[in-house]
């Protein structure tokens, strides 16, 4: 059942991203997905196997798959959506809105991972989670801006 929930969440975040009316050029999005994926994967490995602040429930295949879906699909596409909306929006309210949405949805899904015993916090806490999410958002924006400028110089519009 837990993997079904995270499959639905993965589908939802991809659907939201695909449905956006204004997006960055495709080339920028491809590059952004890759740099997000590298950071998010490394972050998980360092937090779990080096610092041992989080423990992954590897005894259950559905829970492990849920963690993979959340880390490699959900977080990636939520951050991608955030960059696309933030960097193409002209209104400050839109930017604030997507920032708050991105932060809250990641906190909520992180909590869902704990509630379903997918991840166990052995030294991690909500404050650290919040700081990490904000750091990821800032990183995503910086890389998104870089790639947006890079591809716009080459004439990529969409």
Partner 1 sequence: MKIIVYDNHFNGNEWFVIGIVVLAFAAVWLLPRRFSPAQTTFNLLIGITFGVVFDHSIGTPPFDLYDAGDNSTYELIDLFSYFMYAPFGYLFIYGYERLRMFEIMTVVYILFWAVMSAGTEWLAVQAGVFHYKHGYQLAYSFPIYLFLISNRLE
**Whole-angstrom distance, CA of residue 13 vs CA of residue 107:** 15
Dihedral over alpha carbons 98, 64, 5, 81 (to 10 degrees):
20
**Selected binder of partner 1 within 4, 22, 41, 96 (CB under 8 A):** 41
Residue closest to 9 by CA, chosen among 74, 67, 62, 72: 74
Q: How far is the CB of 115 from partner 1 (least distance, A)?
A: 21
At 20, give phi and psi (nearest 5°).
-60, 135
Going residue by residue from 125 to 154, which x/- string records binding to partner 1, judged by CB under 8 A? Answer: ----------------------x--xx-xx
Q: How far is the CB of 99 from partner 1 (least distance, A)?
A: 26
Please say whether the beta carbons of 108 and 129 come within 8 A: no
Report the DSSP pairing between strands 119-121 and 54-56.
Answer: antiparallel
Residue closer to partner 1, measured from CB, 73 or 98: 73
Q: Which helix (H) or strand (E) holds 121?
A: strand 119-121
- 46 makes contact with partner 1 (CB under 8 A): yes
Report the SS3 class of residue 54. Answer: strand
Q: How far is the CB of 108 from partner 1 (least distance, A)?
A: 25
Given the rule CB under 8 A, which of 15-23, 24-32, 93-101, 103-111 is the region that contacts partner 1? 24-32
Residues that bind partner 1 (CB under 8 A): 27-28, 30-31, 34-35, 37-38, 41-42, 44-46, 49-50, 56, 58, 64, 68, 72, 147, 150-151, 153-154, 156
């Amino acid at each position: 059942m837990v993997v079904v929930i995270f499959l639905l969440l993965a589908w939802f975040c991809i659907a939201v991203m695909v449905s956006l009316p204004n997006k960055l050029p495709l080339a920028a999005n491809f590059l952004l997905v890759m740099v997000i994926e590298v950071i998010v994967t490394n972050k998980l490995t360092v937090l779990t196997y080096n610092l041992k602040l989080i423990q992954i429930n590897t005894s259950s295949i559905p829970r492990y798959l849920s963690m993979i879906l959340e880390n490699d699909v959900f977080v990636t596409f939520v951050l991608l959506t955030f960059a696309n909306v933030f960097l193409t929006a002209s209104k400050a309210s839109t930017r604030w809105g997507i920032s708050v949405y991105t932060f809250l949805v990641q906190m909520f899904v992180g909590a869902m991972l704990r509630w379903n015993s997918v991840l166990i916090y052995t030294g991690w806490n909500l404050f650290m989670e919040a700081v990490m999410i904000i750091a990821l958002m800032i990183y995503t924006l910086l890389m998104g801006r870089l790639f947006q400028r890079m591809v716009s110089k080459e004439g990529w519009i969409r």
